[in-house]
Amino acid sequence: MDRFDRMRLFARLVERRSFTAAAADLGLPRSTATAALQQLEASLGVRLLERSTRHVAPTLEGQAYYERCTAILAEVEEAEDMLRDTRPRGLLRIDAHPRLTQSFLLPALPDFMARHPLISLQLGQGDRLVDLLREGVDCAIRAGEPEESGLIRRPLGQIREVTVASPGYLAAQGAPESIEALEGHQMVGFLSSRSGEVMPLEFTTPGGVKLVRLPCRLTVNNADSLAELARLGFGLVQAPRYRFAEDLAAGRLVEVLPDHPPLPMPLSALYPQRRLVPPRLRVFLDWVGAVFAGAAL
């Protein structure tokens, strides 16, 4: 294993926080990865990783070395691409919410794959927040204000939110004409993945944003379940407008308080800081930016 191979291995160890996962990513036996890291530390005369049976993390020296390694490796990759076939290539790991993926990315994906035949995509879809570095994800598409540090954010647009309820629920409880008239109504609770608490309903007013917490007999942590419970008449819910476009058009759901919509949510592409962005990620970012620029968010 040469110097650059050891640097690639070390960078992957920092990102994956696991000898087993890093070795698997690079097609190496775990024992080879362990021996190579020991050789690297011996040659540098410094401990780069703190490791236990369950946890691997860079030391202060290791973090500084990692940042230099990723910059050097990116430059090497860029230089190699200049001398060979310059088309972007390699595996790209993307994570996005399932509904966003199905509504916007998948319909446009044939064009991207046709334009870049040497790129392979691994699409992760889930409601949970992924750790990009630890899980080896190249880019995540996320709604809301990002809280992660050490990531680059590329804005993709604003997602309009809407408050809805079923016709049956409104017939039984009455359609509220004002925010004050929400008293006596119920909502379907949605648990925040960040705080673990039920998120309040949000309404814009001339004086600012007003948060309203209504009683909820049912609480979920999955957006699809939230939507289905709204259709079944269990109360008010708020979610992206695009999610309910068909339900609103078909009359399965009705918009509530349209003059006081929730604040729109920013949509962003997040990726780790690097001196040079790999060509495969760069073309994906350009493509996904164009997809959402033309989307009805």
DSSP string, 107-134: HHHHHHHHH-TTEEEEEEE-SSPP-HHH
**Distance separating alpha carbons of residues 125 and 94, to the nearest angstrom:** 9
| C-alpha pair distances (Å), 4 with each of 30, 205, 255 | 18, 57, 58
**Distance separating alpha carbons of residues 269 and 155, to the nearest angstrom:** 6
Structure pTM?
0.70
For the segment 201-222, the average pLDDT, to the nearest whole number, is: 94
Instruction: Using the structure block, give the residue that is written with the tokens 């691997």.
Output: 56
Q: Does domain 3-83 have CATH number 3.90.480.10?
A: no
* Class for the domain spanning 161-263: alpha beta
- The percent helix, strand, coil of the chain (3-state, each to 5) is 40, 25, 35
| C-alpha pair distances (Å), 166 with each of 77, 169, 179, 248 | 54, 5, 18, 10
In the structure encoding, which two tokens stand for residue 10, read together? Answer: 């070390």
Identify the pLDDT of residue 148.
Answer: 63
In the structure encoding, which two tokens stand for residue 216, read together? Answer: 């909820």
Predicted confidence (pLDDT) at residue 231 exceeds the cutoff of 80: yes
Count of beta carbons in the 10 Å neighbourhood of residue 86 = 11
Among 84-88, 93-97, 121-125, 193-197, the minimum mean pLDDT is found in 84-88
Query: In the chain, pLDDT over 70 holds for what percent of residues?
Result: 93
Q: Where are the domain boundaries for CATH 3.40.190.10 in the chain?
A: 90-158+266-293, 161-263
**Distance separating alpha carbons of residues 181 and 275, to the nearest angstrom:** 54
Q: Where are the domain boundaries for CATH 1.10.10.10 in the chain?
A: 3-83
Considering only CA atoms, which of 152, 141, 145, 183 is closest in space to residue 295?
A: 141
Angle at alpha carbon of residue 45, lines to 44 and 47, rounded to 5°: 95
Among 69-73, 112-116, 146-150, the minimum mean pLDDT is found in 146-150
| C-alpha pair distances (Å), 67 with each of 34, 101, 139, 280 | 21, 31, 18, 20
pLDDT confidence tier of residue 136, bands split at 50, 70 and 90: confident
90-158+266-293: CATH architecture: 3-Layer(aba) Sandwich (3.40)
In the structure encoding, which two tokens stand for residue 148, read together? Answer: 């992660």
Q: List, for residues 148-171, the tens digit of each pLDDT value.
A: 667 889 999 999 999 999 999 999
**Backbone φ and ψ of 85, nearest 5°:** -55, 120
